[in-house]
């Protein structure tokens, strides 16, 4: 892979002339190109089977409005040649996700998906939800569309197979069965109420069910129920009946259980008015494991083929593709995408656009969901736009704010103090922009809310001035909402003045009379406080913003407090991580006992080397 950047002189041309100037430096290699503006910001990333031929297309007029604007803004280009076009495709998608260029189709929500894990590092395996890297030994089943789909399935699997979900430490400490045993969700392996062999059979049945061999599992359970009934073991027969019923409930709750599709993602794309929704259904083991909607950034002149191809490349960049991708719209480079995904998965991945049959019915269902989801989102966006116009009118802003930042603090008598910032805009909550601030001020009086808010805003504006001094990256707020009255507004105004930031509107939201919802007072610098009518939609909107900031700040505070409660002096010992800390506490019983232990006893702990034992001893004895 090579990198090329054509030389430019002082009078650098722009637009078509700029692009034409690069043609003589390019050859027919495959690769990736980047278009940049006057400030070297990446406008667009594209791939090419033949770089010279592809770039020459941009050197002549006749493009859509979006591409014409992109060409007009281009002042330089960068090129990376690759050995193969497949390599170029993968590199293109990596760069798009990393650089987020203005004119590319961009997948904005790309979270990981949960799995069900049947752990295999214990004699009595645990069944649980798992998210993230698959490092733990065991059998993984997924992905599921969301945590709710996993929890519903786990709930029924517990009823059907009576597998434990408790942690290993809890399992080892039990002396009598827990509540899950009493309500027939666990077979009680922790206290020997089932043999290791019997439990292992239940694990195998669960794995068979999750692998799609549910009919065989249900047949076996039905046979066992008949045998128990004939032997007049009616209690056991009733238990087996309940387990069969639980399995049936799992299948019925999944809704779609295609017979002819074993493993696939069904992807439906619907586009309207320059917006798009992609609906993905996860079919595994002939079962529907949930669906998820995505809203990639597109434009009015983006074709379905371009949007679908961009979605596939970015979606599977960090996920293992299934054996089949069943699409609503064909893509231009299907063979290339198929090859790239097959290489990634280490097996064949098929891309299908069905026209009839069961697969086409699945696509039709995904398309219907995508159309309905986009309609709801567009309706919500219209409502949000109306509310933002109402905010602008209520607070005398120049126009509807694109970015509202709301701040709140949380603490208990000054301890574990944190500040929270939530962000909202035309599309609702901007959760990836939320920030938490651990209050560090040593000179603050415990419980000094004014001082805490000043510290939070000081750190916020210091960072903004450093990261976006020209205010052209969309990081600056159009409106600040502060939880508090005149005192908080005065404190924040002082900080803003210190940083030379006095052109951003700032409003304090005070509880008002009797601290009652609906009686809020709004405070602005140098103006009398005022209130909105109780039934004003803008008032309800402001209340939701404040409540979300409060929720976020309290959640952050609770997490910090919980971490502090679980902290011990061992956390400060160099070389003692979570595993060694657990070993020391298990051996000695408490951190205090560790601090008093002699060197020989420390060396006797599993996992503690002689050198580390000396480090621990020295830490507590000031040597």
Residue 349's CATH number: 3.30.420.10
pLDDT at 273 (0 to 100): 87
- Of 563, 588, 605, which residue sits at a domain end? 563
410 plus 558 within the same structural domain:
yes
- The answer to whether residue 125 is domain-embedded is yes
- The pLDDT confidence band at residue 217, using thresholds 50, 70 and 90, is low
In a domain, 172, yes or no: yes
Q: What is the average pLDDT score of the chain?
A: 86
Give yes or no: residues 411 and 547 share one domain.
yes
CB 286 within 8 A of CB 258: yes
Taking the CA atoms of 348, 354, 358 and 361 in sequence, report the sign of the dihedral they define: positive
Q: Among residues 231, 254, 277, which one ends one of the domains?
A: 254
Nearest to 524 by CA among 504, 552, 538: 504
- Give a yes or no: residue 440 inside a domain: yes
Question: 254, 277, 309: which is the final residue of a domain?
Answer: 254
The answer on 287 and 245 residing in a single domain is no
Q: pLDDT tier at 6 (50, 70, 90 boundaries)?
A: very low
pLDDT class of 623 with cuts at 50, 70, 90: very low
CATH of the domain at 48: 3.40.1440.10
Cα distance between residue 382 and residue 393, in whole Å = 17
pLDDT in tens, 419-438: 899 999 998 899 889 999 98
> What backbone torsions phi and psi does residue 415 show, to the nearest 5 degrees?
-85, 150
Q: What is the CA radius of gyration of the chain?
A: 30
Distances (CA, A) of 298 to 209, 233, 474: 40, 63, 18
Confirm whether 389 is domain-assigned: no
Per the domain annotation, does 399 fall within a domain?
no
pTM given for the model? 0.72
In this structure, are 240 and 273 located in the same domain? no
Query: Residue 582 sits in a domain of what CATH number?
Result: 1.10.150.20
Contact between 240 and 224 under an 8 Å Cβ cutoff? The reply is yes
In the block, tokens 């062999």 appear at: 197
Same domain, 417 and 500: yes
Domain total for the chain?
Answer: 5
Q: Decide: helix, strand or coil at residue 299.
A: coil
Do 415 and 557 lie in one domain? The reply is yes
Whichever domain contains 450, its CATH number is: 3.30.420.340
Statement to judge: residues 559 and 576 lie in one domain:
no
Of 265 and 604, which is predicted with more confidence?
Answer: 265
**398 domain-assigned:** no
- The tens digit of pLDDT for each residue in 76-118 reads 999 999 999 999 998 998 899 889 999 999 987 767 789 999 9
Assess if residue 385 is contained within a domain: no
Residues 363 and 304 in one domain: yes
Give the residue among 620, 568, 577, 572 at the shortest CA–CA distance from 596. Answer: 620
Residue 290 and residue 237 in one domain: no
Output the pLDDT for position 556. 78
Tell me: do 268 and 245 sit in the same domain. Answer: no
> Which range, of 2-11, 395-404, 446-455, averages the lowest pLDDT?
2-11
Residue 495 in any domain: the answer is yes
Helix (H) or strand (E) holding 379: helix 357-394
Residue ranges making up the domain that contains 616? 569-621
199 & 269 share domain: no
What's the whole-number mean pLDDT along residues 566-578?
76
Question: Do residue 287 and residue 416 come from a single domain?
Answer: no
Mean pLDDT of 592-609: 86
């Amino acid at each position: 892979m090579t990198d090329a950047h054509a030389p430019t002189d002082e009078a650098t041309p722009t637009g078509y002339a700029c692009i034409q100037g690069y043609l003589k430096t390019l050859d027919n290699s495959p690769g990736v190109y980047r278009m940049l503006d006057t400030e070297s910001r990446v406008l667009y990333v594209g791939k090419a089977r033949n770089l010279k031929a592809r770039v020459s297309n941009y050197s002549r007029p006749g493009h859509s409005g979006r591409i014409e604007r992109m060409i007009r803004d281009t002042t330089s280009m960068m090129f990376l040649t690759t050995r193969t076009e497949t390599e170029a495709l993968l590199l293109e998608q990596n760069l798009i996700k990393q650089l987020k260029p203005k004119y590319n189709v961009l997948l904005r929500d790309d979270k990981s998906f949960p799995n069900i894990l049947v752990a295999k590092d214990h004699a009595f395996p645990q069944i649980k939800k798992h998210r993230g890297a698959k490092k733990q030994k065991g059998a993984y089943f997924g992905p599921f569309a969301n945590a709710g789909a996993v929890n519903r399935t786990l709930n029924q699997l517990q009823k059907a197979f009576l597998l434990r979900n408790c942690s290993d430490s809890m399992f080892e400490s039990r002396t009598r069965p827990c509540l899950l045993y009493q309500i027939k969700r666990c077979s009680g392996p922790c206290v020997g109420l089932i043999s290791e062999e019997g439990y292992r059979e239940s694990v195998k049945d669960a794995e068979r069910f999750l692998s799609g061999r549910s009919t065989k599992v249900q047949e076996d359970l039905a046979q066992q129920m008949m045998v128990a009934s004939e032997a007049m073991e009616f209690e056991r027969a009733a238990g087996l009946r309940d387990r069969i019923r639980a399995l049936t409930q799992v299948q019925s709750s999944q809704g779609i259980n295609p017979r002819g599709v074993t493993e696939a993602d069904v992807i439906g794309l619907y586009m309207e008015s320059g917006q798009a929704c992609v609906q993905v259904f996860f079919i595994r083991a002939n079962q529907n494991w949930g669906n998820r909607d995505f809203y990639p950034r597109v434009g009015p002149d983006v074709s379905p083929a371009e949007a679908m191809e961009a979605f596939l490349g970015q979606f599977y960049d960090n996920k293992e593709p299934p054996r089949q991708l069943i699409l609503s719209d064909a893509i231009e480079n299907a063979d290339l995408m198929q090859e790239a995904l097959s290489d990634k998965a280490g097996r064949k991945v098929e891309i299908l656009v069905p026209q009839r049959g069961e697969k086409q019915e699945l696509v039709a269902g995904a398309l219907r969901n995508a159309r309905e989801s986009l309609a709801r989102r567009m309706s919500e966006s219209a409502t949000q736009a109306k509310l933002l116009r109402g905010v602008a009118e209520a607070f005398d802003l120049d126009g509807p704010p694109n970015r509202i930042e709301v701040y709140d603090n949380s603490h208990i008598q000054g301890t574990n103090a944190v500040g929270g910032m939530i962000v909202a805009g035309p599309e609702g909550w901007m959760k990836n922009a939320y920030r938490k601030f651990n209050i560090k001020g040593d000179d603050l009086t415990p419980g000094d809310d004014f001082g805490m808010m000043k510290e939070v805003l000081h750190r916020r504006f210091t960072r903004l001035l450093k990261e976006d001094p020209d205010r052209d990256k969309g990081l600056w707020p159009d409106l600040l909402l502060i939880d508090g009255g005149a005192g908080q507004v005065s404190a924040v105004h002082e900080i803003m003045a210190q940083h030379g930031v006095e052109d951003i509107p700032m409003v304090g939201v005070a509880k008002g009379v009797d601290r009652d919802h609906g009686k809020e007072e709004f405070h602005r610098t140098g103006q009398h406080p005022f209130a909105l009518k109780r039934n004003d939609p803008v008032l309800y909107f402001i209340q939701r913003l404040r409540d979300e900031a409060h929720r976020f700040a309290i959640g952050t505070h609770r997490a910090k407090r919980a971490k502090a409660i679980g902290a011990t002096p061992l956390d400060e010992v160099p070389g003692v991580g979570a595993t060694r800390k657990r070993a020391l506490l298990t051996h000695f019983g408490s951190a205090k006992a560790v601090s008093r232990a002699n060197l020989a006893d420390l060396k006797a702990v599993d996992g503690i080397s002689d050198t580390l034992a000396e480090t621990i001893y020295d830490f507590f004895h000031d040597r």
